[in-house]
Structure 1
Amino acid sequence: MLGPVETRSVSPVFVGRADELDTLNDALARAAAGEPQALLIGGEAGVGKTRLVEEFATTACGRGAVVALGGCVEIGADGLPFAPFSTALRALRRALPDELAAAAAGQEEELARLLPELGEAPAGRHDEQSMARLFELTARLLERVAADRTVVVALEDLHWADASTRHLLAYLFRTLRTGRLVVVATYRADDIHRRHPLRPLLAELDRLRTVRRLELGRFNRTEVGRQIAGILAAEPDPAQVDEIFERSDGNAFFVEELAVAAHEGCCTGLTDSLRDLLLVRVEGLPESAQRVARIVAEGGSTVEYRLIAAVARLAEDDLIEALRAAVNASILSAAPDGDGYRFRHSLVREAVSDDLLPGERSRLNRRYAEALEADPTLVAADARVMRLASYWYHAHDAAKALPAVLDASVIARRRHAFSEQLRLLERAMELWDTAPEDVRAALRPVDYTEAFPPCGCDPDTTPLRYLDLMAEAAVAGRLAGERERALKITKRALHLLEEEGDPVRAAWFWVMRSRLVQALARGNGWQELATAQDLVRGLPPSEVHADVLAQVANWSMVHVPGPEAFTAAERAVEYARMVGAREIEMSARLTLGSLIVHSGDLESGLKEMYEVRRQTTENGMTAIAARVYVNLPDALEAVGRSAEAVPILEEGVAHTRKFGLLDSEAWVWGNLAESLFSLGRWDEAATAAGKSERVGQSAIPRGFHATLRAELALARGDLAECAHQLAAARGHFGTHDRAPQHELPLARITIGATAAEGRLLDARTALRRALDEGFPPDTQRYAWPLLLTAAVAEADALGLPATETGRVEVLQDIRTAAKTLATNVPVWHAYEHWVRAELRRAEGYSDPDDWAAVTAAFETLDRPYDLARVRHRLAESLLSVGGEDERDRATELLRLAHAVAEHLGARPLADAVARLAQRARLGLTHAPKQPPAPADQAEALGLTGRERDVLRLVSAGRTNRQIAEELFISPKTASVHVSNILAKLGVSGRGEAAAVAHRLGLFHAERLSSRTAG
């Protein structure tokens, strides 16, 4: 035996790591000040990562922090998904039971997926947002728990983490915003080979400024000497230090092993093989202790004492003696909760496990499985199913393993661990053919799958089919982001179905394939949807049939809105009602409402969409409600009702954030940016677009964000940034899915950017490409701005010799295209006037009456940038006429336009206005003449009646809430009006707005009346 060294192979003296510990302590101090911290600690196996975390945890506890530790199991699919987070949350619950219960209040069912002690996790359908919703709730839970105290969450062995754990950790590192929280994760750097699944995560986290990464190096000779002295409790011989340093190369764990081996006198002859080095002390144990070590090595990262006893089949005294010998030799250690044992270092466990014979390994797994089946209480209830599936699978018993693996896949799905569910289902498919027929016949789809909806068969008598597993696996792959694997599964399934004669099931797989193809930017998904539609045509209503029609309607709404989309949406609603598919019905009704708006019946369509919002929010259809918060404001923006869209979008941000619907949140932020841009709130629009980029996971929302950024950059004159964002948008959208809502804005920005660079011929090429593609029905919201941009480019280039050739044809093409576009709402009616006026300007005519009509049309709209642009053109036209009255009016128009341009940062417009004023020798900074009546000034500023009321109260010093109370409107609406007023006045604050109102005497008469009445 090892004498006094037995219990001290770990040095009681903490050696080195001063800089790393200072970094961790600094993070602790920052967290205590309310700034969440995220750190990654990497290093080779045995270099001392765990010891560093333990030392930091001791320091943190000494400073009053609560420390929660969690470790990853060594094979992701064989352990409980999210295991390290579950362990850490369980530790937090023990330390802070009341605080954690309060933080989880109202979300216990969802959070029970990670911490079963909170309640029963709900079953029900799962969607793309399920995992994201769980992640968001977990992040907010940790923030709330850490609101009043410092909390340290340490997760070890990230290189073994299951995919779901990796995704959750990445989400936390990206989104933690508040709380006195430190999250530390460790990983083996030497295990991260080129294809290791952790590698992309580390690359992603390296790009986050909020994440600090520490790499632990090996000890130098002095540190090795101090470590040996701590282990031996005596100053070591210098020659021994030199030898151990040379052989260990400074690896802390190897130093321990070599120091103990040297103390035993077996250093000479010890082989250089790592495996032999790790096994030498195991082989020095008594035979019973070696046997127990082999049993523990195959049982999992931590094995419960009672389970060890059931598998070892030793007398209790003999088992305890064997365990004591292994613990005293520092081979095993007691688990932190005192309920089991684990290897003190995972390298030793790996060596012992690798030393098992193939038959020995399967025999041990069988004994584990049999013991657990005989007494399920041997392990924690939430881990039992997963552990049993792993044991039977590694026991190579297909009859037992198939149902056990399927049971485990259900648990993974309920925890939203879709990557682990996919891996388990793939194991089930691997076992399918080798499992006995009677075992397969006893399995029921209702117990294991939810992907393929009911098709009229009896769920109690219909056996589970291989295709059912494939459908469930395809959904799991899509939800986990494993789209390539899911696509391969659908391909195999459709190949099998070629001889099955099951059109409904085949249609389901084609719809799934369409969604995957679009998500991977491999195509627009129409061919797959059309195939599905052909398969169900003429068949009785079913959930699959309704879903096919709903998907067709939604696709058509985006790509080719028109009668066919309308018909598909109506039939989808009808079929969904007939089969009781409530969510499909709501989704199809939302699409139908959008199509009604596009058709011109605005109020009926918007009424339907508002009703869908009410029903989905009241009935907990969170995913469909999120889609409403995207589509309803989008429909409002499409008809120029931007101010009405903004409050709904703000509600949408709260809804999508509450339920963790990341992609939906990205769309909502993007739509909010678009409406804020229209309203002249450009700084807020830039912020919203940035948030869209940060939360968006899929390519299309990211492309939408980049398009918005490009538009803002163009309007502000940053052509380099505009080009960068255009390239990014095209990269995200790909070349396979050219939806008008993406293509037309990109074409418009391209025309504007190339024209701004003086490349009119390239602008014409971009226009010709867009006109050749044509404008599908109901795309006027994108087409009118595109034609306007092209007309402005031609007008601005008038007189340049190189651009005269072909101008007549281009202008005629623009006129012809404009005749096909609807002008059914004021905003597009105003654009029609504007395009017509720009075309006449491109032909050398500039009639003040034309521009006065355009200006009058925009003065009734909440679009200050557009209004400033047309005021500039009206002023230019008036100056060309001459006359003192025209000159005075032009001066005021230019001052208003310049003020708005400066406020927005619209540099090209501001410069154009300044150049025109300079040519006409007009001052932009002099006070305007006092108008004969205050109402005329308000009208000239473009203020609506309601905005005039709000400005009067702003001038009186009222807050938004006080304004809302006095005018019987909501504070949000008051805020919108104030922002619009600031933009129209060209000022940056309420005080400046009040000063302008005072200078112009807008409310002078009202104050006189008030004094007289007093």
Structure 2
Amino acid sequence: MRAVVVSPVFVGRQEELVSLAAEVTRAEKGLSGFVLVGGEAGVGKSRLIQEAARVAEAAGVRVLTGRCVELGPEGLPLAPLAEALRALTRSASPGQLDAWLGPARGPLSHLLPSLEPLAEPSGEGFQAAQLPELVLGMIERLSGDRPLMLILEDLHWADQSTLGLLSYLVRTLRDAPVLLVGTYRSDEIHRRHALRPLLGGWERMREVRRLELSRFERDEVAIQVAAILGRAPDAETVDLVLDRSEGNAFLVEEMVGVVDEGDAAGLSPTLRDLLLVRVEARSAQAQRLLRAASVAGRQVPERLLAAVADLEPAALFEALRELVENHLLLVDEGGQGYAFRHALARDAVYHDMLPGERAQWHVAYARALSAGPELTDSSSVSAQLAHHWLAALDLPAALPALLAAARASSAYAPAEESQHLERALEIWPRVPDAAVLTGTDLVEVLATAGEAAWRTGSVERSRALFELALAELGESGPAARRALLMERLATTLVDLGRWEESMEALRSALDLLPPEPLEYAHAVLLTSLSRNQLRGGWIENVQATAERAVSVAAAVRAHAEHADALVTLGSLRASVGDAEAGMRTLSEGLALAERIGAVETMMRARNNSSDLLAMLGRHQEAIDTATVGLELARRTGASRTYGAYLAGNIHESMVRLGRWREAEQAAEQALRGEPEGAFAATLLDQLALIAVLTGRHEEAARLAEHAKRLMIDSSDPQFLQPLAFSLAEARRLVGDLDGAIAIIEDALTHDSTLWLARCSWPLVWLGTRIAADRTLLARDRRVADRSPEVVASLARIAGALPTLTPASTGYALTTAAERTRLDGATREWSDAVAAWRVAGEPYPLAYCLFRVAEDRCAASDRRAATEAAAEAAELAAGLGADPLAKEIDALARRARLVLTRTVPAEPPVPAHDPLGQFGLTEREREVLALLAAGRSNSQIATALFISPKTASVHVSNILAKLA
């Protein structure tokens, strides 16, 4: 018996090891990183990672390792996370574990029940989609006292939930001392492999390093052989090993074993034969046990293997000892089971069996697990049962196992739940008496699959499954059941932007239900309908619907729906002008949601409350309320969904208060979690607004267009109108006034309640401002223009908008003042300034002060003009509102106002400027620009706040200088 089969010397890979060591050093400095190690099976990826882990541990870094497990077409759900957690629980004290796990303990107990040994796995308000955020929080706490190296091996076998978790961590881990390391077989990543698109995306990320391991050269093979044999090999042996292994590190080890045990010159060069030759040298009992172990996968618990093998303890341990001593099996790290030294060896043994033999072993595993689920980790029993029954082609046994696996996966792995259900649907028609066998019917399985698809983000597939469920149920099915299915279908339609269809589905579902007796389905449908009506701004019947939802939910004791309906009703009352009553009703809904632990409704209530407070101009209260909600979202793993909305509300109030830099940082931080759809659009919209107000019009347009693409099927004015503002202002900044007006007119096609007026008012003002600018420009050029029609149309819209909040009053007065620019009448800017002082919003205040200064210049009141312009300039500079600051500076130069703030000097005349030779003064250049634009002497005088006679003198001087 040979004492060693693995080289005790680490051969080659020095450059790669140095790279990994450098990443460890970065983690020690508080920087996160991600290293991908690829290469063919057996090339030495795991050995390299083990050496790097030793370097990390020597440096005081905490190292956790988890491996993906191959289990049929998909991997075992979140297997590497479970393995890493298991190692953590073994090494940590109860106090440490509590501190590290925090709010993730309950949800993670679904994955590793030993985290909650005395209770059922739970997680109040937990949804599987929140798991990545909870894991992120746990990792950040783990790395709080010392850096963390988290290794995820065999990503080519990773399930969708593991890949989703890893992708999320790669995107969001930025400022934590965490090094992620992943390994994968590059030769198994085919064109449609789930890992392939992720690899492409990660390659473009600056924080990601990718190492590709190649096979050993001859000198490296020689060193490896010498280390294994403990002596220098002759050249013939090295050549033989190199020839058969082709430099693959694992195959070198196997080949050395064959050489050391006998003459290998006549060995078949096939990989399978090379891997099996040492197996065939073992006793019949050991070979049988090895075949049994291979059916379990790369690892198998000792108790499970014993139950399946059905051997006397003495015979079992004798065979196990033979396999371990000959390095065919290894004792796993936990000391509770055995693992193949390499997955390639397991594959060779497994595929060497006859089909019938394999099937019998799968049946043996399935029966053993059914009789004793404690023989393995209980979190994966159902998935293992489904795998073994399917592999044994026992469909009647596989179907209930698949449904059980789906139920187990729903707690933490929705992608795997969806896959189990889809496979159950595939075999359902081939299983006699499937409904009797499973205790459910096809409608329920379709509906559950629809829910699972929706949770994974496959909304279109979810819609199709709900439609199939409705078709299977038929129109003669129970009315309540059909109505509830239609409500779920309506939810998917909303997510797809098909609002009208969603509303029609809900109304049709309600029509199915008899008026009496009231039941749970009434509460669900009325709550959903009122919520949709409010979200879409359809207020014609929403109050009656919401009030009915509240009373029905209370009557049937549907507490979650009752709380949700109260939130809708409160939001509605505020949107039609009764803000204080709305706040009280909203608070009532929040209190009920807190009592029953309805986390989603709690976050929705905080979101709507902060929205309402912002609408009322109580921006700091809005920030405080949204911050409480955001903390709840982070604690429950919902920062990418409701958390994004709450972050958007915080951002909006910060913008209104003039805290632009702080707001921009908050939005960028929220986007690090890469929220999707409307959740991302909320934050992109806010960033676009800051970008355009600070003069970054190209960036603003890019951000707004990105947000618009995310909401391409939506007609929700709460999203579309703010986006339209940013896009229109970006067009205005580049001089495309027609394009800006078109964007605004297209966006203002929705009736606005008080709730939505806050989105409409800024557009009405901006549209009126641009139309006034365009009218004045057309007058100067003496050309026809339809801007007066636009102004009149916007005035009609303004007349229909409510003005019950400080901001809406400010916008109404500002818009009215814009219209006075067209008739030359006495301006109304001072009233607008007063309104914005009350509202406490510095940006519109600065703009209105700028217009006051312009008016006072025209009236030759230089003192008042200077005071207004100076205050406007100071506000604009503090905000970073460069476009507005430039307009104020231009006014100051034209009117020769001396502001307390230094006005930037005109840029020097370029050396190549053709006008430089004519000796024009700065004022003469300003006059020449207006003259070239077609302005008359009187129009030039008005623009520059000088007399027509002075303008005439300037024109004469210019003509003389230009000859």
Please report the TM-score for the alignment, with normalisation by the length of structure 1: 0.83
Residue 861 and residue 122 in structure 1: after superposition, are their counterparts in 2 closer, same or farther (change >3 A)?
farther
Matches within 5 A, 1:183-332: 183-264=180-261, 267-332=264-329
Deviation string 1:437-475 (CA, Å, 9 cap, x unpaired) is: 4x84375xxxxxxxxxxxxxxxxxxx5222112222211
Count of aligned pairs between the two proteins: 896
Tell me the amino acid that sits aligned with residue 567 of structure 1: A
The residue aligned with 1:115 is: 112
Map Cα deviations across residues 525-554 of structure 1 (whole Å, 9 max, x no partner).
Answer: 444434434434746433333222222212
Partner-residue secondary structure (3-state), 2:856: helix
- Which residue of 1 is the match for residue 653 of structure 2? 675
Q: Partner residue of 2:37?
A: 41
Residue 84 of structure 1: aligned partner: 80
Residue 726 of structure 1 deviates from its aligned partner by: 2.2
Name 1:920's counterpart in structure 2.
Answer: 895
Q: SS where residue 860 of structure 1 aligns?
A: helix
Secondary structure in structure 1 of the residue aligned to 2:183: strand
Helix, strand or coil for the counterpart of 1:563? coil
Write the distance in 2 (CA, Å) between the matches of 1:659 and 1:771. Answer: 37
Change (3 A) 1:778 1:54: closer
Cα distance in 1, alignment partners of residues 798 and 877 from structure 2: 32
* In 2: Cα distance, 1:803 partner to 1:529 partner: 53
RMSD: 2.8
Distance 2:782 2:281 in 1: 92
Contact 1:846 1:877 in 2 (8 A): no
For the residues of structure 1 that align with 2:625 and 2:299, how far apart are their CA atoms? 50
Match among 66, 75, 98 for residue 70 of structure 1 = 66
> Cα–Cα, structure 1 residues 543 and 707, in superposed 2: closer, same or farther, change >3 Å?
same
The residue type paired with residue 88 of structure 1 is: A
| Structure 2 partner of 1:728 | 706
Contact 2:526 2:548 in 1 (8 A): yes
Shift of 1:376: 4.2
Residue 907 of structure 2: aligned partner: none
Q: Which amino acid aligns with 1:285?
A: R
Which residue number in structure 1 is paired with residue 547 of structure 2?
Answer: 570
Q: Is 2:484 the partner of 1:508?
A: yes
**What is the alpha-carbon distance in structure 2 between the residues aligned to residue 232 and residue 819 of structure 1?**
92
1:786-805 aligned within 5 A:
786-797=763-774, 798-800=776-778, 801=781, 804-805=784-785
Residues 144 and 179 in structure 1, CA contact (< 8 A), matched pair in contact too: no
Question: Which runs of 5 or more residues in structure 1 are unaligned?
Answer: 444-462, 929-1014
Question: By how many angstroms is 1:775 displaced?
Answer: 5.0
Shift of 1:613: 2.7
Alignment map for 1:373-452 (pairs within 5 Å): 373-414=370-411, 416-435=412-431, 437=433, 440-441=435-436, 443=438
Given that 2:684 and 2:703 are in contact with CA atoms closer than 8 Å, whether structure 1 keeps it comes out as: yes
Deviation at 1:672, TM superposition (A): 1.3
Contact 1:752 1:793 (8 Å CA) reproduced: no
Opposite residue 701 of structure 2, the aligned amino acid is A
Equivalent position SS for 1:70: strand
- Partner letter of residue 392 of structure 1? W
Quote the offset at 1:867 in angstroms. 0.3
Give the 4+ runs in structure 1 shifted more than 6 A. 76-79, 123-127
Question: Does 2:824 align with 1:845?
Answer: yes
Q: Deviations over 1:166-199 (max 9, x none)?
A: 2222333333466654432222222222221222
Of the structure 1 ranges 33-42 and 904-913, higher mean CA displacement relative to structure 2 is found in 33-42
Q: Identify the residue that residue 739 of structure 2 maps to in structure 1.
A: 762
Q: Is the 8 Å Cα contact of residues 642 and 679 (structure 1) preserved in structure 2? A: yes
Answering whether residue 622 of structure 2 is matched by residue 645 of structure 1, we say yes
The code of the aligned residue for 1:298 comes to V
Quote the Cα distance in structure 2 between the aligned partners of 1:55 and 1:477: 41
Residue 556 of structure 1: SS of its match in structure 2? helix
- Whether the 8 Å contact between 1:25 and 1:56 is mirrored in structure 2 is yes
Query: Residue 332 of structure 2: which of 331, 335, 341 is its match?
Result: 335
Q: Could you tell me which of 786, 790, 809 is aligned with 1:810?
A: 790
The answer to whether structure 1 residue 104 and structure 2 residue 101 are counterparts is yes
Aligned partners of 1:775 and 1:732: how far apart in 2? Answer: 23
> In structure 2, which of residues 14, 19, 29 is the aligned counterpart of residue 18 of structure 1?
14
Equivalent pair of 1:143/1:179 in contact (CA under 8 Å): yes
Deviation at 1:250, TM superposition (A): 2.8
After superposition, residues 656-671 of structure 1 pair within 5 angstroms as 656-661=633-638, 662-671=640-649
Q: 1:569 to 1:76 in 2, by over 3 A?
A: farther
**Offset, 1:235:** 2.2
Gap regions ≥5 residues in structure 2? 904-963
In structure 2, relative to structure 1, the CA distance for the partners of 1:97 and 1:436 (3 Å cut) is farther
Per-residue CA distance 1:63-115 (angstroms, 9 max, x = gap): 44443322111127887532221221111121122321343356543332233
| 8 Å contact kept, 2:644–2:682 | no
SS in 2 for 1:42: strand
Helix, strand or coil at the partner of 2:327:
coil
Q: Deviations over 1:281-315 (max 9, x none)?
A: 32333332222121111123311223223322334
In 2 relative to 1, CA 572–212 (structure 1 residues): closer, same or farther, beyond 3 Å? farther
Distance 1:659 1:568, change over 3 A: same
SS class of match (2:70): coil
Q: Counterpart of 1:562 in 2: which secondary structure?
A: coil
Q: Distance in 2 between matches of 1:758 and 1:106?
A: 53
2:597 to 590, 607, 620: 620
Counterpart AA for 2:826: D
Q: CA deviation at 1:405?
A: 3.2
Distance 1:627-1:241 versus aligned 2 partners, 3 A rule = same
Q: Contact conserved, 1:554 with 1:591, CA < 8 A, in 2?
A: yes
SS at match of 2:801: coil
CA distance in 2, matches of 1:391, 1:323: 23
Q: What is the identity, as a one-letter code, of the residue corresponding to 2:850?
A: H
Question: Deviations along 1:703-723, whole A, 9 cap, x unmatched?
Answer: 222222222121111121122
CA shift digits 1:675-719 (9 cap, x unpaired): 111111111121122133223432112222222222212111112
| 1:471 matched to 2:447 | yes
Inter-partner Cα distance in structure 2 for 1:846 and 1:220: 89
The 3 A distance-change label for structure 1 pair 706 and 66 is closer
Q: Distance in 2 between matches of 1:155 and 1:535?
A: 52
Query: CA separation in 2, counterparts of 1:775 and 1:180?
Result: 49
Aligned equivalents of 1:904 and 1:34: distance in 2? 33
Structure 2: which amino acid aligns with 1:23? S
Deviations 1:834-886 (A, max 9, x none): 11110121x142524x111111111111100110000000110111111xxx3
Is the contact between residue 435 and residue 442 of structure 2 (CA under 8 Å) also seen in structure 1? no
Check if 1:896 corresponds to 2:871: yes
The CA deviation string for residues 578-630 of structure 1, in whole angstroms up to 9 with x for no partner, is: 22221111111111111100110010001222232333234422211111222
Structure-2 change in CA distance of 1:906 and 1:861 (3 Å): same
Distance in 2 (CA, whole Å) between partners of 1:125 and 1:342 is 33
CA distance in 1, matches of 2:60, 2:862: 74
Q: Is the 8 A contact 2:537 2:756 kept in 1?
A: no
670-679 or 100-109, which moves further after superposition? 100-109
**SS of corresponding position for 2:180:** strand
Q: Is the 8 A contact 1:248 1:258 kept in 2?
A: yes
The secondary structure found in structure 2 opposite 1:752 is helix
**In structure 2, C-alpha distance between the alignment counterparts of 1:744 and 1:79, rounded to whole Å:** 45
For the residue of structure 2 that corresponds to 1:341, the secondary structure is strand
Q: Which amino acid aligns with 1:888?
A: R
Give the distance between the partners of 2:401 and 2:727, measured in 1 at CA.
57
Per the TM alignment, residue 124 of structure 1 is displaced from its structure 2 partner at its CA by: 7.7
Provide TM-score, normalisation by structure 2: 0.87
Q: Indicate the percent of aligned positions where both proteins have the same amino acid.
A: 37
2:369 corresponds to 1:369? no
User: For each residue in 1:4-54, what CA deviation from the matched residue of structure 2 results, as whole angstroms up to 9, or x when unmatched?
Assistant: 3xx423211101121222232233333334444443322221111111122
Return closer, same or farther for 1:61/1:746 CA change in 2, 3 Å cut-off. Answer: closer
